[in-house]
Amino acid sequence: MDESKIFYDRTPALSHNAVITMVSGARGGGKTFGYKEWCVTSDAEFVWVRRYDTEMEKCQKTFLADMVHTGVIKDPDRWMVRGGKLWHTVSEKED
């Protein structure tokens, strides 16, 4: 079975170049992973909305764990989530 057909494909939604893209769907379909992957691999600005501060507090420590585990983020020490914001440090070599 082709695994690419199992999980959510973010390409159609992003192809519209919309200012705001909202996505909903069944749990476990790959929506969160797909968009987090896009966020950390592109230079695009993004916002991740949660309804309550407590929801953001719960996910801050593990928000990027799946990105590290799958190899999307190769240097996890340069990424962090603090105060509800995703931070990426850039080395002088990358400037």
95 pLDDT more than 50? no
Specify the pLDDT at position 85. Answer: 73
Burial of 64 (0-12, 13-18, 19+ CB in 10 A): buried
The three-point CA angle 59-77-9 to 5° equals 55
Cα distance between residue 58 and residue 5, in whole Å: 31
Q: Give the pLDDT of residue 16.
A: 93
Instruction: Please report, as a single letter, which amino acid is at residue 62.
Output: T
Sign of CA dihedral 79, 82, 87, 92: negative
28: helix, strand or coil: coil
Distance CA 45, CA 82 (A): 17
Whether residue 18 has pLDDT greater than 60: yes
State the Cα–Cα distance between residues 12 and 34, nearest whole angstrom. 12
**Is pLDDT above 50 for 29?**
yes
Query: Who has greater pLDDT, 9 or 88?
Result: 9
Pick the most confident of 35-44, 64-73, 76-85, 86-95.
64-73
What is the radius of gyration, based on Cα positions, of the chain? 14
pLDDT (tens digit per residue) in 70-79: 999 888 888 8
pLDDT score of 1 = 46
